[in-house]
Chains A and B, each alone.
Chain A
Amino acid sequence: MDPTAQQFFDYLKDAIYEPEHAKLDPKDVPEDFRNFAKGLIYYVTSVREASVLATDIARGELNTSPLSPGNEVAAGVKSLQAALRHLTWQTQQVAKGDYNQKVSFMGDFSEAMNYMISQLAERHESMQQEIKLGHEQFEALTAEVSELESSAFYDPATNTYNRRFGMNKLNEWLEEKREFVICFIDLDNLKFVNDEFGHNEGDVYILMATELLKQFSETGLVCRLGGDEFMIIDEGWTQQRAERRLAELRTNLLSANEHADIQYYHSMSYGVVEVVSGNDVIASELLGVADERMYSFKRAHKAERKTY
């Protein structure tokens, strides 16, 4: 083979199979072939760069530095790199929940990607709707439960706790060995008021007394046990202090009798039991004792009461 042809042949062979050893110096070839050698070197280098870039892309490395300026041979691969970089950003946006983006002019891929984005957006929207609906249902159920609890544990006429709640709490506090007072209160003359002035007036009388009992303390649980009977349980009181507080409230109630147009005598009786930790007692016994004390009080103050 002609020596120059051999030089070119060897160079091309190395460029394909051992690119790191491919060497051709234009000065080493006859002058007529120098431009051809330069062109061949440029082409081989451009192909090599395109190949490196394509390999990097295949490995998922999309940030390979720009190639030699004017490397037209690698232009297609560079376009692919640009498209993939854009798609990476696009996918990151979708992952963040941005469904506004659209892929254009990438043939079937655009269609598939845009369809996927619109499906994700629809599912997201539908999931949001379901969450909203679930939330609304949960709120409705919570309101219903709250209403049921309210009707199960409250006395609607006086807006105080009812007997069931009061007894549950009493038993609970006894089980927990808490120290507290039980105040048993009876509204005097309610039967007389109902008989003489009707149940509406009786209700007015009950509400008046209830509002006073609610002032016993901020923490006291006021329960209507039934008809004219109330119970207050509260922690942090001795029997004497609780009796003094009830006496104050009773005085307030009695003050209603000073009005000139009063139709009946306003009054209440009470009995207090102090529960001390360690006493092994049951709720009914304690209420029985409080009830007895209330009656003693009522008997002791009988002379004060009069009807109008």
Chain B
Amino acid sequence: MIENVFAEHATHNKFVWENLGDIKEGRGDLGEEMPVLVYRLMQFTMLDSLTKNYGPTQANNLFREAGYLAGAEFATHILDLSVDLNTFIANLQKALEDFKIGILRLEKFDTDTGNLVLTVGQDLDCSGLPITNETVCTYDEGFISGILESYTGTKYDVREIDCWANGDRTCRFQGVALK
């Protein structure tokens, strides 16, 4: 193979936002959107593979870690982090709807501690899944904590307390600010 000295020494194994590419140009006919089924197919086969290799706990940890990276990148590139909290929440709610990730609804926000409870309805990851009595949105947990940390500058431990897969119809997350 001839060495191409002009090629950039980038790799897709390390995530950078720009590597998402120009989707519009690349998929001129098929467009920028695709069925949720395909997203879930990739996500749950990957979870299957990770679980087989590393066990369920580690697989979920890796999913949470990936979600955190996605949340932080999403916040940095899509959201305005300079606005006040109320505007930020309104913008986040709209962005999650625009990108069809889910319907965000805040239930509680403690302005003293920064702790919050929110729900994500019609969640991309789990809405409509068979009931298995599990909380499965570990990717979302990381995604939300990445967004919150990017905005507040404080680390968040986000845990799913209700999940569609647990028979709850809506996914509820509790975020605790880690001082």
Using CB atoms and an 8 Å cutoff, list the residues of chain A in contact with chain B.
66, 69-72, 74-76, 78-79, 82-83, 85-86, 88-90, 93, 98, 100-102, 104-105
Name the CB-closest residue of A to B116.
A89
Name the CB-closest residue of A to B163.
A69
Query: Are the CB atoms of A79 and B161 closer together than 8 Å?
Result: no
Query: Are the CB atoms of A70 and B131 closer together than 8 Å?
Result: yes
Residues of B within 8 A of A70 (CB): 131, 133, 166-167
Query: Are the CB atoms of A79 and B86 closer together than 8 Å?
Result: no
Interface SS of chain B: mixed
- With A69-B133, A70-B131, A105-B103 already in contact, the answer to whether A82 and B93 are too (CB < 8 A) is no
Which of B152-166 touch A at CB < 8 Å?
Answer: 161-162, 166
Query: Are the CB atoms of B94 and A79 closer together than 8 Å?
Result: no
Can you give 18 contacting A-B residue pairs, CB < 8 Å? A69-B166, A70-B167, A72-B131, A74-B167, A75-B167, A78-B168, A79-B169, A82-B107, A82-B172, A85-B108, A85-B119, A86-B106, A89-B107, A89-B108, A93-B86, A100-B86, A101-B89, A104-B97
Name the CB-closest residue of A to B166.
A69
Min C-beta distance of B16 to chain A, whole Å? 32
Residues of B within 8 A of A104 (CB): 93, 97, 103
Give the docked Cα–Cα distance between A76 and B170 (Å).
9
- What mask results when residues 2 to 45 of chain B are scored 1 for a CB within 8 Å of chain A, else 0? 00000000000000000000000000000000000000000000
Min C-beta distance of B103 to chain A, whole Å? 5
Residues of A within 8 A of B119 (CB): 82, 85-86
**Which 10 pairs of residues, A with B, have the shortest CB-CB distance?**
A86-B105, A100-B90, A75-B169, A70-B167, A98-B86, A85-B107, A72-B167, A70-B133, A79-B169, A82-B170
Query: Are the CB atoms of B109 and A76 closer together than 8 Å?
Result: no
Query: Are the CB atoms of B89 and A75 closer together than 8 Å?
Result: no
Give the docked Cα–Cα distance between A248 and B158 (Å).
83
Residues of A within 8 A of B87 (CB): 100
Residues of B within 8 A of A101 (CB): 86, 89-90, 93
Q: Judge whether B114 is part of the interface by a CB distance below 8 angstroms.
A: no
Query: Are the CB atoms of A75 and B168 closer together than 8 Å?
Result: yes
Query: Are the CB atoms of A66 and B169 closer together than 8 Å?
Result: no
Query: Are the CB atoms of B161 and A66 closer together than 8 Å?
Result: yes
Which of B62-112 touch A at CB < 8 Å?
Answer: 86-87, 89-90, 93-94, 97, 103, 105-109
Residues of B within 8 A of A98 (CB): 86
Give the docked Cα–Cα distance between A85 and B131 (Å).
24
Min C-beta distance of B71 to chain A, whole Å? 21
Give the docked Cα–Cα distance between A70 and B166 (Å).
5
Min C-beta distance of B118 to chain A, whole Å? 8
Among A71, A72, A83, A100, the residue within 8 A (CB) of B105 is A83
Give the docked Cα–Cα distance between A81 and B108 (Å).
13
